[in-house]
Structure formats: C-alpha cells, structure tokens
Amino acid sequence: MIRFLENYSLQSHNSFGINVNTKYFFEFTELEELDIFLKSNKTVQDEKILMIGEGSNILFLTNFDGLVIHANIPGIEIVHEDRQNIWVEAGAGENWDELVTYCVDFQFGGVENLAFIPGTVGAAPVQNIGAYGQEAGSVIEKVKGYDLDKQQFMEYSKKECQFSYRNSIFKSKLKNRFIILSVIFKLDKFAEFNLEYKKLEQKVLELGEINLQNIKKAVTDIRSAKLPDVNEIGSAGSFFKNPVVDSDVARKIETKFKEIPIFEADNGKVKLAAGWLIDKAGWKGFREGDLGVHKQQALVIVNYGNATGMDIYNLSERIRQSVFEKFGVELEREVNCI
C-alpha cells in the first residue's frame, strides 16, 4: 500500500513532536512499490530526499523542502538456522522493540540489552543503536535496500556497513541515498549474556534468574525510569554522543572532579559520559518555557509542548558552549538535525 501526500505535517513522524511540513511524503509497504514510484514519478525525481523511520533520532529545524520517504515494510521471519545460530530477517518498518520481544520470546540472544529503544528496524543500522554494552551492528549480518543513485536493489554485508560507535556507512557515504528495506540479524540460540553494565546485572539479579526475559525486563525498567517516554514528552534520546578524548584530557578533569566516569576506548583514548559533563555544567532539570533538559538524564533534551526545532537546537548550542568552557571538551550531536 502506498501513500503519497503533498505539503504534509511531520509532527506525528518525529519523536520531538516538531510541527513542520514536508513538500512531499511517500510511504510504501512493498518493495516493488518503491521502484515503480521512483521510476514513474517524474515530479519528485529531482527533489532532495530524506528517509525516516519513526523519527526518533531527528530534529527538524524548519520545513522540509523535498521528499520524505517512509519504508513501512512489515514482517519478521526466520531465514536460516544451524545448531548454534538463527538468522532472522525483519522489515524496515517493524518497531524495534517488537523485534526484541520476538527474539526474547523465542530465546534468540543478541538484542535483549537493546530493549525499549524507540524507533524502527530500518533505523537501527543507520546509527548503530547501542545500549548496556550491546550494539545492533554486532548482530547484523546483512542490510538490504534500494540505492537511489543506481536505482537498484542492493545488499550490504556487516563489514560493508562499517559499523562504529553510533555510526555506519548509511550515516556517512550513503546518507540520503540508500533506503533500507530489511535487515538480517544473526542471533544466538545459546546466548552468552552481557551484564558488563553493573547496574543492569544488579537489576537482573533482583528479578531472579539470569535469562533473556529478565535482561529485557531489567533494561526496560532502567530505561523507563531514566529516559522520558516519547509518547508523553518530546525527545530523541541522547542528544549528544559520548565524547572520545585523549586520556590526558580526562586525567586533567579528574584532578578537579575525582568522581568523573571514564571508560576505555580504542587507540589508547577514553570515552567520557556526555550526560555527566552536562549534569556537572548545571543543566540537569533545566526548564525554560516548553524547552528543557531531562530531570533524570542530562543527555536528553526535551520538548514539553510547543518548542520549535530552532529553540531546541539553540539550547543544544548553549549546552555545548558551557561544557566546552567548563571542561574543554567538544560535544558532538548524535541527533540528526535537518
């Protein structure tokens, strides 16, 4: 089924709840519909294109003068299995948490720590969603989609996806050029649990046995206590990435703030917690009209009502500036600003 609309409001298509319009909006549920639409619809061929899922990692600064495409492909199915692993293919339009529920219900391990992350399956590889020591990229075997430049269906293997911390080829070289249609996950029948995140381990033990169900439940409980429910308060989860810096930078901050959380990263560098830096710079719980910084997690900027995209962007700039002044660390936005 397709929907093609003109001058359409995106308010219900972005978790910040920003009311902007797009010149064109195209939604489809079957692969062939996309190919036919793009090849036959001359009016939209030269438009600027933006792909969205549930819009849970996007901030619209203004109306979008182009074509927004929503691949609403449904379906979750097992495509292959052996003694150890099971391969599950999910359509880009499936809700991410529903895929996690499916996997946990069938005892397929590998995505349980990623429970309750807002968004679609199709968006998961783009920013390589991650939480509690797990990243989607590590269980993604293949990403299938449509290349707008080549006008053909293509597949990317895990290696070709170039996954790194909150990044992939779909966010860099293939940005706005590749429409993700489905993702194949390689999951484990005899999962090794990842409880390196101490608060998670504690929560799971409180629930009882260490198993996929309890891990999912613990993650869901932790997330719902700390992060705003996007159905109630507009937000896009973490607004910034956790900065990776030289260890001397971290040690220098540590001389003044003994309690600073420091995590090891690649190449002898370290990762700092952006939420901690923003919190220490005094922003946690900040509120100005409909704009705010979440009370429980300073990394999350919230829209309590009618804040505009520019209001949110300007607040993020003030936060970046103040963190830089206090700690000499530059924060990089994680949210995609359009």
Q: How many CB atoms lie within 10 A of CB 283?
A: 21
**In what helix (H) or strand (E) does residue 39 lie, and over which residues does it extend?**
helix 31-40
Closest CA to 196 of 135, 132, 244: 132
Question: If binding is defined by CB under 6 A, does position 279 make contact with ligand EPU?
Answer: yes
Question: If binding is defined by CB under 6 A, does position 216 make contact with ligand EPU?
Answer: no
Active site residue 334: yes
Q: Residue from 72, 85, 242, 316 that binds ligand EPU (CB under 6 A)?
A: 242
Q: Which residues contact 81 (CB under 8 A, 6 or more apart)?
A: 87, 189
Q: For ligand EPU, which is the closer residue by CB, 88 or 230?
A: 230
Binding mask 283-302 for ligand EPU (x = CB under 6 A): -x------------xxx---
Q: Residue from 91, 93, 110, 237 that binds ligand EPU (CB under 6 A)?
A: 237
Cα–Cα dist 322/305, whole Å: 25
Active site residue 318: no
Number of residues forming the site for ligand EPU (CB under 6 A): 17
Could you write out the DSSP letters of every residue in 129-145? -EETTEEGGGTEEEEEE
Q: For ligand EPU, which is the closer residue by CB, 74 or 261?
A: 261
Output the smallest distance, CB 48 to ligand EPU, in A. 26
CA–CA distance from 230 to each of 36, 154, 258 (Å)? 34, 33, 34
Question: If binding is defined by CB under 6 A, does position 132 make contact with ligand EPU?
Answer: yes
Contact 145, 154 (CB under 8 A): yes
Residue 170 is encoded by which pair of tokens? 């779909």
* First and final C-alpha spacing in the chain: 27
Q: Which of 166, 168, 223, 320 is catalytic?
A: 166
Output the smallest distance, CB 242 to ligand EPU, in A. 5
Residue numbers annotated as active site: 166, 238, 334
Binding site for ligand EPU (CB under 6 A): 131-132, 227, 237-238, 241-242, 261, 273, 275-276, 279, 284, 297-299, 334
